[in-house]
Every structure is written in structure tokens, then in C-alpha cells.
Chain A
Amino acid sequence: MTIVGTSGLVLNEKLLFEHSDPGRKGYSLPKLDVPTAELPSNLCREEINGFPELSEVDVVRHFTRLSTWNYGVDSGFYPLGSCTMKYNPKVNEVVARIPGLAGIHPATPSHLAQGTLELMYRLQGDLAEISGFAKVTLQPAAGAQGELTGMLVIRAWHEARGSKRSKVLIPDTAHGTNPATASLTGYDVVPIASDGVLTLEEVEAHMDDGVAALMVTNPNTLGLFETNIEEICKLVHERGGLVYCDGANLNALMGIARPGDMGIDVMHFNLHKTFSTPHGGGGPGAGPVGVTEELIPYLPGPGIEFDGERYQIETPKTDSIGRMLAFHGNVGVMLRAYAYIRSLGGEGLKHASEMAVLNANYVRARLEGVYDLPYTTRSLHEVVFSDKDLEGGCHTLDVAKRLIDYGYHPPTIYFPLVVKGAIMIEPTETESQEVLDEFCDAMVAIAGEARDNPELLLQAPVRSRVRRLDETKAARKPKLRWQEDT
């Protein structure tokens, strides 16, 4: 077996503050050829406490060394379940950097921004086509903001009808952010049990006239398709509620099934997951929201309209929930997503989803029997194992740490909460069989190590630049900025 992880010239690096040497500088100014002007003394301070003084080479080495500590999808396999860490083709970057697109100011009048507006308009249409919704807004700047937008639209719809509904049903297999979104929108969260796949009976038991919406994730966070979704949507509608779908797992469905056709009323997309835009590090992301015909009046604005000749920035309608963001969202991310959709085309997107499902099931087939598989229903794009059968007193966390020694970013662990000691693997479609085999070999080897030599897991990681970090101390006593005396 090839071990991808190794160590060699991995260099330590101090903080900039610790490098500082008084008087060093990394700039040189041209000779002064204008009269000097004093700054007002009340605007000046004697010195900045601890301000780092460094030379150019210090700074270049500092950031270059830090950059070698990164692990990303460009460095290796990154099976972080629920996050769809697929490879982002570089052609998307080329498109986003076209000067006329990259350099446009957000306040440019629409008649001078026709190209960008057209691409945004087309992206709205493509996303609507892929998902089966009547209209899509591109404004939300992240998945969480997309969720909030969607729930505010649902709230506005209820309020317009004089409805005072106060509760939102959320199954235990929904995406982890959903309860926070419902709560932020002012709703009380009612958790409901799923046993893998949500049943009509469970929804029926909770679906009273105080329920504004059901928030589901499909496929859910166990990687299972919600097979009863159509009947569930019908029931929720009959009882006066709406259905929100978290689009986190859309990567399993492109070109195969459309949430809008299932009866879902609102869904957000994660362009940074499904549509292959850069992901992680806190953004920028994009969380467009699709809605049914009935909910269009409540969408945020302004959006992009086309009158047959020109693309216009339209004023929000009276019922609109208003702006979710200054300007038009993260346009650079939209351009990448549009390039991705157009370079793959309809058949290509469908193939991507098929391969994502195939890859997850390949990993499942290779690891089933080695790791406990708590839900045996057919998986879609991700698969959840548990640490139940792990020997030697080792747990999920130890497997994750040991994977670092083998050179892999660990999968999502301890989520979803319905599985004790969950290990949630989402390989995505962009990995070859060789990569999947190497990863599965590592997982099998780790299960063997737990049985024969558990210390290898309990001490892991040993090959990484730092050993196991004190997560507890980091959470209890976080150091959020540099301080001179620490």
C-alpha cells in the first residue's frame, strides 16, 4: 500500500510578531519631491504596541511556509461528508478572472454591465431548470444565508395570509444548521424522529395547525433518499404548511430528480458544494434560493430581469422580504458556477451525480463489514459508518486522527447525531478508483491497527507537523488574537 502521508521539509514558522526586529522594513519609498506636511499630532500615536517589523524576505517566507501547511482538495482526497469537497476545475477560475467580469464595480449602471447581468440571469435560469423551481434568487452570500432567506420567504407567505403559525418540524437527519435557521427566523423547532428515512406517519403525528413548515434535507445527512417525500409534501400542504429543503446534498440528484417536482416549496443551493466553486475557509460562498410560483413575490431583491432586449436590475416588489445583502451577492462565485454548469452541460451534470453516488457506494462496499454500517438502506452520495465494531478501546476520533498519518483529510465525524460515533464519508465524483482504493486500504489498515496495536490510533497523529491538539482547552480558553505577554 502507498502511504500518501510523509514528512520532510515541513518547516515550522513563528508568528509575525515573534519575527519582529526593530528597524527592519520591507518597503522603500522614492525620494521626496514635494514639501513635507506634518500630520495633526492628535491623529498620531507614539508607537503601535507589538507592531511587527520585518523585511520583505521575512514576510514572503512567513506566508509561503504557512501556505505549505494547507490541506485542500488540490492537495489530496478530502471526504468531508455533507460538504461535497469536489475538485474545482481551473477553467472556472479562468472565467472568473476575465478582466471585464472580474473588474466590474458593483455600482456600475446596468446598461454598462450587460455581460455580467446576462450571465447572472442565465445562471438563475439554469439553477431553476436543474431544481424544478419557478424562480431563483442569487442574492444570498452563503448556504446559511440562503436558508435564512428561504425561511423568511416562508414566514412572509404565512404572514400575508394572516397565519400565526409558530413551529417548524425538523427531522433528526436534516442538515445541522436547519434548527438555527428556523430559530433565527423566529420559529420554535420541533425535532422529529426519522429512523433513517422520514415516514409519513411521523410527519402526520406532528403536523398540526401551528406548524409553518417542515425542513428536510434530501438526500438526508445519512446519505439516504427520502423516499416518502412526495406524500409528505402533499400532507404538509393539505395542512397549510410549506416544505423547505436544504440543498446541501443536491450533488446526488442533478439531472436525475428535481426537488421542485417532489413538492418542495423552497430550497437553497450551495454553489460552493454542488457547483464546484472554492469552498472552505469561511467563504466567499453563494446560497441561491429557488421557490415555487406562489412564493415569487416574497423573494429578496433586487434581482436580474430580462425584457427581451436588455438585462435590468429590478426593484424589489412590495411583498419582497427586501435585501439580504448589499449589491448582488458574490458574483465571482456565480461566474465559476455558471462556467461549471456550462462546461459540463446537462448530461455532464447528470454523469457527475451518477459518479458521486457510484463512488460513495464503492467506498461503502469496500468498508462494510470492516466498520459498522448502522443504516443499510441504499446510499446515495455519502455513507455513514460508526465506531461500534472498532476494537482496542478506539473511537471515531482516533480513526480520524490516524487518517491524518496516512495522508488523508478525515471525514466528517460525530455527525449526524443520530449515529453514535458517526464517520460520514462523501468521496464526490472527482476521485478515481485508485484514490478510493488507497483511502479504503488505509481505513481497513486502521481498523486492523485498532485490533492489534491500538496505541497507533490513540497516539495519532504522529506524522503531522503537530500532534493531537487540546481541543478542549481551545474551546474553553480560546486565544483569539496575539497578545504581547502570552
Chain B
Amino acid sequence: MDFPEEFKYTEEHEWVMVEEEIAVIGISDFAQDALGDVVFVELPEVGAVLEAGKAFGVVESVKAVSDIYAPISGTVEEINEDLIEAPEIINTSPYVDGWMIKIRMTDAADADALMTSDQYQALIAEES
């Protein structure tokens, strides 16, 4: 399983890639593997205001339905429309093609508080 060094991670198994004021958000390789085949994704509207820690979308697999939580507060700039028709991209490419939303962060410093790849790997080693 792969956890890119340059990303940040959350306890709810989302990843965040920060590019200046924009944060790209998806779910980790661990999350997609635990969920199994993803069959449905619900994403917010562009312009929606997200609050850190609150659910912003839903991902459904053959096993379970899970909320996806906003790692950071901000406004949705763009969503990955491809996932609506082809949610399996989340399984095949969780970090590249399977990105979910891009948000403009309320405060870019918020991302610093998230976990590094090493911290996240320690967390999932403990969980599994």
C-alpha cells in the first residue's frame, strides 16, 4: 500500500494535497481497500462551504456506506465529475484520478495540523 510523502492525512482516512490556497482531497489507499469496490459517490456542489470535521460527501461500496469528512474548512472550487459515472476510479487510482474535490482553504495553515504520511501509517498499523 502506498502513502505519498507529499500528502497530508486524516484519522478519517482522507488525504490532502496542498497547492497554495487550494487543497485537493480524496480517500487513502487504505480507505479504498477497506471499503472494497466503490459503487457510488456523492459530492458537494461547487461553491459549498465546508467546515472541518463535518461530512461533505458519501462513498458507498458493496460492503458499506461511509461519510467523507472535510479535513479543512473552505469553499468547494471544483469536483471530480468523472467519479459520478465511474466511481471505480477511486479503487484504481485513489491519489491521482480518484481525487474528489478541490477547495479554497479558509486558512491554509490548517493543513499543517494534519498527519504526515509516517504518522498516518503508524495510525493504520495500530488500527488493523
Chain A residues with Cβ under 8 A from B60's Cβ? 475
Docked Cα-Cα span, A362 to B48, in Å, equals 52
A75 within 8 A of B: no
Nearest CB on B from A81, distance (A): 16
User: Contact: A414 with B37, CB < 8 Å?
Assistant: no
Nearest CB on B from A189, distance (A): 9
User: Contact: A414 with B39, CB < 8 Å?
Assistant: no
Docked Cα-Cα span, A476 to B83, in Å, equals 12
User: Contact: B64 with A472, CB < 8 Å?
Assistant: no
Interface size class on chain A is: under 10
User: Contact: B62 with A417, CB < 8 Å?
Assistant: no
A307 within 8 A of B: no
Chain B residues with Cβ under 8 A from A417's Cβ? 64
For the complex, would chain A's binding face be called helix, strand, loop or mixed by DSSP majority?
Answer: helix
A472-B37, A475-B40, A476-B39 known; A414-B64 Cβ under 8 A? yes
User: Contact: B63 with A476, CB < 8 Å?
Assistant: no
User: Contact: B63 with A472, CB < 8 Å?
Assistant: no
Docked Cα-Cα span, A417 to B35, in Å, equals 11
A471 within 8 A of B: yes
Chain B residues with Cβ under 8 A from A475's Cβ? 37, 39-40, 60, 62
Chain A residues with Cβ under 8 A from B37's Cβ? 471-472, 475-476
Complex interface bits, B82-96 against A, C-beta within 8 A gives 1, otherwise 0:
000001100000000
Docked Cα-Cα span, A414 to B63, in Å, equals 7
Q: Which residue of B has the minimal Cβ distance to A397?
A: B63
A476-B39, A476-B87, A476-B88 known; A471-B62 Cβ under 8 A? yes
Nearest CB on A from B39, distance (A): 4
Chain A residues with Cβ under 8 A from B39's Cβ? 472, 475-476
Complex interface bits, B10-47 against A, C-beta within 8 A gives 1, otherwise 0:
00000000000000000000000000010110000000
Give the residues from 436 to 486 in chain A that come closer than 8 angstroms, CB to CB, to chain B: 471-472, 475-476
Docked Cα-Cα span, A472 to B40, in Å, equals 10
Chain A residues with Cβ under 8 A from B64's Cβ? 414, 417
Docked Cα-Cα span, A471 to B62, in Å, equals 7
Give the residues from 61 to 85 in chain B that come closer than 8 angstroms, CB to CB, to chain A: 62-64
Nearest CB on A from B122, distance (A): 19
Query: For B60, B63, B87, which residue has the most chain A Cβ atoms within 10 angstroms?
Result: B63
- Residues of chain A whose beta carbon lies under 8 Å from any beta carbon of chain B: 397, 414, 417, 471-472, 475-476
What 4 A-B pairs are tightest by C-beta distance, nearest first?
A475-B39, A472-B37, A471-B62, A414-B63
